[in-house]
């Protein structure tokens, strides 16, 4: 018989979401961090809205930092591609890669941008971008059609940095699938950006990380006596904690804690 806890996890997490733990040991050995590993897929009811909110905030900050004041929309012509969303994503990426070459030739350098993959109700993909350069509408239309894109393109300027940040945060949070709809095929990146722009930071660079093939609930249960800096989610489930070096000496060697090293 399934327990209430297992049923709650099954209802709110993906199949493999939260099943394993990442362990990071500081280079100086001062502490060891434990984080619950999530699948980070757009198909997961737990990860999708959190990734959407994190991306919305990060893109808003990038827009202010890099002065990305032009909002561009690039669409596809359904007659030129297959009807499936997965095929339209691959076709759109190929067109956009060619389009970036056109932009590089026009401006003499690579422009800064953040691109967001979205879908029409029909399932056909299109791109929303924010860029740092002004692009004439007619040139934009001709260049996009030349690389295989559709005839409908749009570019708008947002001079107020604070307003564009607020606008994008609201727009992207809505469009990322928080309404429960998700048409993004597996393996497709929803957000891409140019070099020099970092949106989501990785875990601490001052730690060496490895994967423990055990849940953080089990891991915490073996270290709860010396754990500190506890973090919980909205379900009051443990998602991260820290063990200091001086406290770890109180623990007995745990032969089950060895995992596979990751970069």
Residues in the chain: 263
Note the helical H segments in 111-160: 137-146
CATH topology for 47-189? Alpha-Beta Plaits (3.30.70)
**How sure is the predictor about 95, in pLDDT bands with cuts at 50, 70 and 90?**
very high
Nearest to 33 by CA among 189, 236, 242: 242
Can you give the pLDDT at residue 153?
92
Top pLDDT among 204 and 116 is at 116
Can you give the pLDDT at residue 262?
36
59-64 average pLDDT score: 86
Can you give the pLDDT at residue 17?
87
**How sure is the predictor about 184, in pLDDT bands with cuts at 50, 70 and 90?**
low
CA distances from 6 to 11, 13, 40, 194, 212 (A): 9, 10, 20, 42, 20
Do the Cβ atoms of 57 and 46 come closer than 8 Å? no
248 contacts: CB under 8 Å, gap ≥ 6: 32, 226
pLDDT at 106 over 90: yes
Helix (H, G, I), strand (E, B) or coil at 260: strand
| Low-confidence winner among 45-54, 188-197, 229-238, 241-250 (lowest mean pLDDT) | 241-250
| Low-confidence winner among 8-17, 24-33, 96-105 (lowest mean pLDDT) | 8-17
pTM of the complete model: 0.74
Question: What is the spatial distance between Cα 106 and Cα 79, in angstroms, rounded to a whole number?
Answer: 28
Instruction: Provide the residue ranges of all domains of the chain, joining segments of one domain with +.
Output: 14-38+202-261, 47-189
């Amino acid at each position: 018989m399934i327990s209430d806890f297992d049923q709650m996890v099954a209802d709110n997490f993906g199949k493999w979401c939260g099943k394993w733990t990442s362990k990071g040991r500081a280079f100086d050995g001062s502490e060891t961090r434990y984080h619950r590993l999530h699948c980070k897929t757009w198909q997961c009811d737990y990860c999708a809205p959190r990734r959407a909110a994190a991306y919305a905030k990060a893109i808003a900050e990038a827009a202010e930092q890099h002065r990305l004041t032009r909002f561009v929309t690039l669409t596809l012509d359904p007659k030129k591609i297959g009807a499936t969303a997965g095929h339209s994503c691959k076709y759109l990426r190929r067109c956009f890669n060619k389009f970036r070459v056109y932009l590089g030739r026009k401006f003499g350098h690579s422009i800064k941008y953040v691109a967001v993959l979205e879908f029409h109700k029909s399932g056909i993909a299109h791109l929303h971008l924010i860029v740092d350069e002004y692009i004439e509408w007619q040139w934009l239309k001709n260049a996009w059609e030349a690389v295989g894109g559709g005839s409908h393109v749009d570019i708008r300027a947002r001079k107020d940095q604070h307003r564009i940040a607020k606008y994008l945060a609201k727009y992207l949070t809505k469009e990322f699938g928080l309404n429960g709809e998700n048409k993004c095929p597996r393996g497709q990146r929803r957000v891409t950006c140019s070099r020099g722009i970092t949106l989501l930071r990785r875990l601490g660079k001052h730690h060496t990380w490895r994967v423990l093939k055990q849940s953080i609930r089990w891991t915490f249960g073996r270290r709860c006596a010396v754990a500190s800096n506890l973090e919980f989610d909205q379900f009051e489930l443990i998602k991260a904690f820290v063990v200091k070096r001086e406290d770890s000496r109180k623990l007995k060697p745990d032969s089950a804690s060895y995992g596979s090293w990751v970069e």
